[in-house]
Chains A and B, each alone.
Chain A
Amino acid sequence: MDYATLLQILDSTFRLSTPLLLACLAGLFSERAGIFDIGLEGKMLAAAMCTGAVAALTGSVWIGVLAGIGGALVFAVIHGVASITFRGNQLISGVALNFVASGITVLVAQALFRQGGRTPPLSGDGRFNPINLPFAESLSGVPVLGPLYAEVISGHTALVYIAVLCVPASWWVLYRTRFGLRLRAVGENPASVDTAGISVVRLRYAAVIITGVLCGLAGAYMAAGLQAGFGREMTAGRGYIALAALIFAKWRPWAAFYATFLFGFLQALALRPDVIERTFHFSIPTPALDALPYILTVIVLAGFVGRAIPPRAGGEPYVKER
């Protein structure tokens, strides 16, 4: 693989790992607070549809993003009501909301635009446009690092940079603020948090809402950044890959960044079978590359490479008194 091809693949890795990263961080907040969320996929899908539809109607991508966040929040709050207020099964709630989202997005898109469940193609201000970072042009002459900066780091859409900034931000919130300490505590031992006079319910709702906002950004990026408009089932299992990445990262923000980057890289590689064949001198079947994130996650889950221990109170509704 020559340097130029590598840069191309890294460039698309950034683009493909952004929705994974945002969704993964979304899951991180929820699961660290003790609420399992398999509904990342559905929230992303809802957000993608809302963004696609509103951006197409208003012509403004940022209003579209707000709508996307709103759409994801609706699903996040339903998940919260089911799993926090009514102490239902969080896994079942997540599965259910994924189905609801998968169907209702097509229904609404079809009712609004009558284009077979798609939203109209976005263009101009309706979509995110690439941002060229300063000096990208002038530095591109610098050997090795110049093209890396110009082609891989620069020239992405705003949400890609926002997603990357979310990583240190999440780390800071979780490990350097009082809110973060409480959030992590509520996922490990809610009773102790309750004893300290802090509302478990309020903390968990806060976590679920952060999850909704981040999933909203992930979905908005799908519809207005990675592609131009919403199409049925457009998230194509990314919510589950993000979930896999979260386990792979053992519920830590920086590790989430590396894990999603790895999975994004695999996705980028799967798009370029010619490169694989030239580099390794034999063809790896595309389905094998598609399945690799899942296989890696199973290996990590099995505890053969380090041990992935989830937050201790994850999945269990908190009952204050008996």
Chain B
Amino acid sequence: MTKLPRWADLVLVPLISLLLAGIISALVILAIGQSPSEALKTMVVGAVGSPYAWGYTLYYATSFMFTGLAVTVAFHASLFNIGGEGQAQLGGLGVALACLALPWPHWTLALPAAMIGGALFGAAWAAIPAYLQARRGSHIVITTIMFNYIGAALIIYLLVNVLRPVGQMDPATARFSEGTNLPTLHEIPGLSAIFTKQVPANVTLFVALIACWLVWLLLWRTRLGYEIRAFGKSEKAALYAGISPFRITMLAMLISGALAGLMSINNVMGESGRLLQNSAEGAGFIGIAVALMGRNHPVGVILAAVLFGFLFQGGAELGLWTSIPIELRTVVQGLVILFTGALDHMVRMMLGVFFRPRRLAVA
């Protein structure tokens, strides 16, 4: 197989994968008797056509940045964390408990507490699969899948039997106090000139961007990040260099779980204002697609998160305004994961054909 130049590997491969996923989605839309161009138009107008639409797209993108980073950090240690969904839900529990614990006077005080709560609970939910992988050799993919289901069951139990206020019918916690309301982009001075209507995107967006920067610092500018990447490339070499596999597995998964848990300040604290069932709404899984598409780099994660925010919001618009079901976005999500994560060799082989002649000429 021809080795691709670096830029082609970083930019072209994800773009071609996206294009292939797009073509197949278009064929699916055609097959169910709808117009792909109309669908694309609806998605573009509904997801990026106005500041109001951007307010939704960025809201989803914020969540996906966190879960995408979570998958990225674990990937660099060559651990596949499918448990982002469960970790995000547990993180939601941590956020909810922090928000309900005190009558917070102002969001600037509530936000750090909620972040600690979300990160701690998310990390705790990743800790058990991490320990089992590091000490008992249980496959992390399977244990994290199992922990998604165990987490969902735990949350349902807690919402129905423990956290639900007396007299309330639906399984949810009480509403958080006024002091925990995060300012949305509409309420931030300066940005309110652009976002003239109330939108769900909130200050968490900036927390997510800072998290992207911190993850970049961690992975490429610290000793721990170097150890994580070395361990991910070759466990044997890392061990020989004196890097403890146990320590790296634990730390990488704890950071990963904490990032997934942090997602909940966006949806639980910033949007719904209370903890509901299935609060993560699949964002944990989308993190896999975001990390793969973003080539496991924080900058890529930001771009891919915005792309998936577009897809998520655009897909919802399709469900509202056309007769294409909202599930189209799940199909596109699956196709992107398939092409970027599993068929990447195929895409490289296809591209290799174009790069081969040039290599021969140089040789």
Residues in A lying within 8 Å of B, measured CB to CB? 38, 78, 82-83, 86-93, 95-104, 106-108, 110-111, 117, 232, 237, 240, 243-244, 247, 285, 287-288, 290-291, 294-295, 297-298, 301-303, 310
Does B169 lie at the interface of the complex (its beta carbon under 8 Å from any beta carbon of A)?
no
Does B149 lie at the interface of the complex (its beta carbon under 8 Å from any beta carbon of A)?
yes
Interface of A is mostly: helix
**Beta-carbon contact of B141 and A99 below 8 Å:** no
**Beta-carbon contact of B153 and A288 below 8 Å:** yes
- Tell me whether A107 and B154 are in contact in the complex, defined as CB-CB below 8 angstroms, given that A88-B344, A298-B146 are known contacts: no
Does B196 lie at the interface of the complex (its beta carbon under 8 Å from any beta carbon of A)?
no
Cβ of A107: which chain B residues have Cβ within 8 Å of it?
A: 28, 32, 324-325, 327-328, 331
**Beta-carbon contact of B153 and A291 below 8 Å:** yes
Does B234 lie at the interface of the complex (its beta carbon under 8 Å from any beta carbon of A)?
no
Which 6 A/B pairs are nearest by Cβ-Cβ distance? A99-B334, A103-B330, A100-B334, A93-B342, A92-B341, A111-B32
**Count of A-B residue pairs with CB < 8 Å:** 151
Would you list 25 pairs from A and B whose C-beta atoms are within 8 A, ordered by A residue?
A82-B343, A86-B343, A86-B349, A88-B341, A88-B345, A88-B346, A89-B342, A92-B337, A95-B82, A95-B337, A99-B285, A99-B330, A100-B330, A100-B334, A102-B327, A103-B331, A103-B332, A107-B328, A117-B327, A237-B149, A287-B154, A294-B149, A298-B132, A301-B138, A302-B136
In the complex, residue of chain A having the shortest beta-carbon distance to the beta carbon of B157: A287
Does B177 lie at the interface of the complex (its beta carbon under 8 Å from any beta carbon of A)?
no
Cβ of B145: which chain A residues have Cβ within 8 Å of it?
A: 38, 240, 243
**Beta-carbon contact of B337 and A96 below 8 Å:** yes
Cβ of B330: which chain A residues have Cβ within 8 Å of it?
A: 99-100, 102-103
Q: Which of A96, A290, A298 contacts B338 (CB 8 A)?
A: A96
Report the minimum CB–CB distance from B283 to chain A (whole Å): 13
**Beta-carbon contact of A243 and B142 below 8 Å:** yes
Residues in B lying within 8 Å of A, measured CB to CB? 28, 31-33, 80, 82, 128, 132, 136-139, 141-143, 145-147, 149-150, 153-154, 156-157, 160-161, 285, 288, 292, 323-325, 327-335, 337-338, 341-346, 349
Cβ of A102: which chain B residues have Cβ within 8 Å of it?
A: 327, 330, 334
Give the distance in Å from the alpha carbon of A108 to the alpha carbon of B324 in the complex: 10
In the complex, residue of chain B having the shortest beta-carbon distance to the beta carbon of A309: B137
Report the minimum CB–CB distance from A108 to chain B (whole Å): 7
- Tell me whether A301 and B143 are in contact in the complex, defined as CB-CB below 8 angstroms, given that A99-B333, A99-B337, A294-B149 are known contacts: yes
Residue of B157, B334, B344 ringed by the most chain A CB atoms within 10 A: B334
**Beta-carbon contact of A97 and B343 below 8 Å:** no
Cβ of B327: which chain A residues have Cβ within 8 Å of it?
A: 102-104, 106-107, 117, 232
Cβ of A243: which chain B residues have Cβ within 8 Å of it?
A: 142, 145
Report the minimum CB–CB distance from A118 to chain B (whole Å): 12
Known: A93-B341, A107-B325, A290-B153. 9 other contacts (CB 8 A): A38-B145, A86-B349, A88-B341, A88-B345, A99-B337, A104-B331, A107-B331, A301-B139, A301-B143
